[in-house]
């Protein structure tokens, strides 16, 4: 069927205006909410910190949206509120992070590895469950009390198991040694410092162990599990103690 140009332009404009309205999206493919009580400060806010607040927090408010406190996050946008307490299926924020809105996926896709990964199904499930459970968000600033990770207690066991055979006392491929904190911070001959304290996600070490470095030899030997890679990144975010 041919659509007159004027009409399709008008529909386009209308769609742009109502782009985030609940009726315009197909929610049938949304990951399901996790079937348990969710703790906002421990489980949901860290997702916002990891994926959103660098662009929507105290430093930057991209799209004029800020979400580091409840007061800001719940402020409605031009199409209404982003969170609908008790109804995650109709909450525009869920549609946005699940990529249900054309060109509206958050965080915005990037072709740089380690940057702007979309939320996982598990993360969307947590977010949905929290909204369905009433979207309770404590007033004021949120302080996360993360367990302090250390090389000796948390990272060395992983590297001993997966890396030290090639990067340790016996052999140090690329001049890189993974058996001591000093060795890891020093890095190797090709990549240099493998740890960026000011940008954990873009540290060569994190990119390598998340399996996102296309050039590293023996990529399978370098990819840790998602959980382990996450731990390595958290350790760097906390200052690589
Ligand atoms: C790298 C920067 C960046 C990150 C990270 C990011 N955003 Fe955005 N966000 C933007 C930009 C840019 C816009 C404005 C887009 C536009 O106007 O087209 C925006 C707009 C928005 C809006 C407003 C949409 C509207 O209709 O007014 C919401 C809500 C939003 N982002 C949520 C999030 C959430 C939730 C996350 C984390 C899961 C996130 N963003 C992560 C850059 C970012
Ligand atoms: C089977 C042996 C093997 C295993 C296991 C292994 N690597 Fe490697 N790694 C290599 C080789 C080979 C290179 C490339 C060295 C070169 O460029 O000369 C390399 C390079 C690197 C480099 C870059 C060093 C430089 O040149 O700057 C880093 C960082 C690294 N590996 C980290 C790790 C980590 C972390 C693990 C564990 C998750 C690991 N590797 C497991 C063999 C291995």
> Mean pLDDT over residues 185-193, rounded?
95
Mean pLDDT of 204-230: 95
Residue 130 near residue 44, CB atoms below 8 Å? yes
Q: Which of 60, 63, 91, 114, when mutated, tests ligand 1's pocket best, judged by the most ligand atoms within 8 Å of its CB?
A: 63
Q: Give the mean pLDDT of 229-238.
A: 95
Please report which confidence band the pLDDT of residue 2 belongs to, taking 50, 70 and 90 as the band edges. Answer: very low
Q: How many CB atoms lie within 10 A of CB 175?
A: 13
Ligand positioned closest to the Cα atom of 101:
1
Cα–Cα nearest to 96, from 75, 71, 127: 127
Cβ atoms within 10 A of the Cβ of 57, count? 17
What mean pLDDT comes out for the span 94-99? 97
| Residue 1: exposure state from Cβ atoms within 10 A (0-12, 13-18, ≥19) | exposed
Choose one of 188, 224, 240 to mutate for the ligand 2 pocket test, by most ligand atoms within 8 angstroms of C-beta. 188
Structure tokens at 136: 């309770």
CB-CB neighbours of 23 under 10 Å? 6
Count other C-beta atoms under 10 Å from residue 145's C-beta: 7
Closest-CA residue, ligand 1 atom 7, reads 107
Calculate how far, in angstroms, residue 63's C-alpha sits from the geometric centre of ligand 1.
6
- In this structure, the residues whose C-beta lies within 6 A of any atom of ligand 1 are 20, 51-52, 54-56, 62-63, 65, 77, 82, 93, 96-97, 106-108, 116, 119
User: Which has the minimum average pLDDT: 121-130, 135-144, 157-166?
Assistant: 135-144
3-state SS class at 77: strand
Closest atom of ligand 2 relative to the 162 alpha carbon: 37
Locate the ligand 1 atom nearest the alpha carbon of residue 77 and give its number.
27
Average pLDDT score, the chain: 90
Confidence at 13, pLDDT banded by 50, 70, 90 = very low
Query: In whole angstroms, what is the distance from residue 120 CA to residue 34 CA?
Result: 13
**Which of the pair, 236 or 4, is modelled with greater confidence?**
236
What are the CA-CA distances from residue 148 to residues 131, 155, 159 (Å)? 29, 12, 18
Residue from 185, 195, 221 to probe ligand 2 pocket by mutation (most atoms less than 8 Å from CB): 221
Which two tokens mark 187? 């890095």
- Confidence band of 116 (pLDDT split at 50, 70, 90): confident
Domains of the chain, earliest start first:
25-132 (1.10.760), 151-237 (no CATH)
- Tell me the pLDDT tens digit for each residue of 52-71: 999 999 999 999 999 999 99
What confidence score (pLDDT) does residue 146 get? 66
Return the structure tokens found at 102.
């054309």
* Ligand 2 contacts CB of residue 156 (under 6 A): no
């Amino acid at each position: 069927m041919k659509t007159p140009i004027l009409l399709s332009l008008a529909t386009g404009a209308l769609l742009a205006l109502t782009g985030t309205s609940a009726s315009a999206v197909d929610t049938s493919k949304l990951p399901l909410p996790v079937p348990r009580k969710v703790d906002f400060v421990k489980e949901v806010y860290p997702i916002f910190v990891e994926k959103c607040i660098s662009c929507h927090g105290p430093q930057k408010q991209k799209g004029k949206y800020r979400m580091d406190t409840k007061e800001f996050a719940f402020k409605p946008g031009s199409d209404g509120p982003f969170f609908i307490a008790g109804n995650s299926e109709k909450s525009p924020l869920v549609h946005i992070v699940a990529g249900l809105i054309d060109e509206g996926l958050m965080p915005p896709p990037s072709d740089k590895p380690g940057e702007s990964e979309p939320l996982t199904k598990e993360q969307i499930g947590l977010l949905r469950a929290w909204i369905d459970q009433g979207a309770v968000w404590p007033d004021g600033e949120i302080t996360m009390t993360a367990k302090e990770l250390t090389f000796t207690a948390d990272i060395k066991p992983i590297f001993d198991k997966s890396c030290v055979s090639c990067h340790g006392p016996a052999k140090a491929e690329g001049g890189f040694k993974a058996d001591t904190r000093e060795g890891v911070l020093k890095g190797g001959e090709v990549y240099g410092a493998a740890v960026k304290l000011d940008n954990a996600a873009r540290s060569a070490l994190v990119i390598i162990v998340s399996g996102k470095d296309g050039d590293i030899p023996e990529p399978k030997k370098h990819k840790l599990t998602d959980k382990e890679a996450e731990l390595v990144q958290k350790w760097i975010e906390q200052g690589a103690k």
